[in-house]
């Protein structure tokens, strides 16, 4: 899992001076940085999918061939979860707003303030790490649910719907005591310490309260 210590920041800007200045600042702060002279080269290299350590993308909004807005459209189509920070000039506020609507995590205005840049990047990396943790937890929960028997899955869905043991027993045609056994098995297999935790897990996995 990518965290702030191992995350790679991809800087995309056709202005070499700006690109190198950003890379130098971020590197000095302890970040790993990869530079790209254009968004087109970036996507043709298969990025960011080809870099599992990608933690953040910083891209200029005005570039020839493929703009920062074009890049955001591309990343949105690819369902890319890597946070994108857009770099804009003074007159590019409308573009910055458009970028935010397309999913950009934030935008930076030129000229840059070093502290603001580092704070924005760290915020994006934290968001990326939390997203990774959330995805990992969802996968774990999905695996646990897959390990339930059909009857255990039914009991789980009824519990998520807020039904009491007697109601579940009546609906499934089994005794309340049998429901208790299935419920205990579900709690054990799901590694849930409480009913509320079990419900949160189920909702995370996409089990709707209406499923029952």
Say if CB 125 and CB 56 are below 8 A apart: yes
- pLDDT tens readout for residues 112-147: 889 999 999 999 998 888 877 777 888 889 999 999
Tell me, yes or no, whether 166 and 80 share the same domain.
Answer: no
Asked whether residue 211 carries a pLDDT value surpassing 60, the answer given is no
Total tally of structural domains belonging to the chain: 2
User: Phi, psi at residue 86, to the nearest 5°?
Assistant: -100, 135
Q: What is the rounded CA–CA span in Å between residue 152 and residue 156?
A: 6
Tell me, yes or no, whether 82 and 132 share the same domain.
Answer: yes
Asked whether residue 174 carries a pLDDT value surpassing 70, the answer given is yes
Tell me, yes or no, whether 73 and 127 share the same domain.
Answer: yes
Please provide the DSSP assignment of 118-145 as one string.
HHHHHHHHHHHHHHHHHHHHHHHHHHHH
Strand order in the sheet with 32-36: 32-36, 8-12, 54-60, 84-88, 106-109
User: Which of 163-167, 170-174, 193-197 is the least confident region?
Assistant: 193-197
Range(s) of the domain holding residue 194: 147-211
- pLDDT tens readout for residues 175-210: 999 999 999 999 999 999 988 889 888 888 888 764
Tell me, yes or no, whether 109 and 12 share the same domain.
Answer: yes
Predicted pLDDT of residue 4: 67
Structure tokens at 76: 């949105």
Domain boundary among 109, 136, 163: 136
Could you tell me if residue 173 is left (phi over 0), alpha (psi between -120 and 50 degrees) or otherwise beta?
left
Q: Read off the CATH number of the domain in which 168 is found.
A: 1.10.10.10
Predicted pLDDT of residue 120: 93
């Amino acid at each position: 899992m990518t965290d702030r210590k191992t995350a790679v920041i991809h800087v995309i800007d056709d202005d070499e001076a700006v690109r190198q200045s950003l890379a130098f600042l971020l590197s000095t702060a302890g970040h790993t940085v990869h530079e790209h002279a254009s968004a087109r080269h970036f996507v043709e290299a298969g990025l960011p999918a080809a870099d599992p350590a990608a933690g953040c993308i910083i891209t200029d909004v005005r570039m020839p061939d493929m703009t920062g807005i074009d890049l955001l459209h591309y990343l949105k189509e690819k369902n890319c979860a890597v946070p994108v920070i857009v770099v804009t000039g003074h007159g590019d506020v409308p573009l910055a707003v458009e970028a935010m609507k397309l999913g950009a995590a934030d935008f930076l205005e030129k000229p840059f303030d070093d502290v603001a840049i580092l704070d924005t990047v760290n915020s994006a990396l934290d968001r990326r790490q939390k997203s990774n943790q959330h995805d990992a937890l969802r996968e774990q929960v999905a695996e646990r649910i897959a390990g339930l028997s059909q009857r255990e899955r039914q009991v789980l869905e009824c519990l998520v719907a807020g039904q009491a043991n007697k109601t579940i027993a009546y609906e499934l045609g089994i005794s309340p005591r049998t429901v208790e056994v299935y419920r205990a098995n579900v709690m054990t297999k799901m590694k849930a310490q409480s009913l509320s935790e079990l419900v949160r897990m189920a909702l995370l996995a996409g089990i709707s309260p209406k499923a029952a």
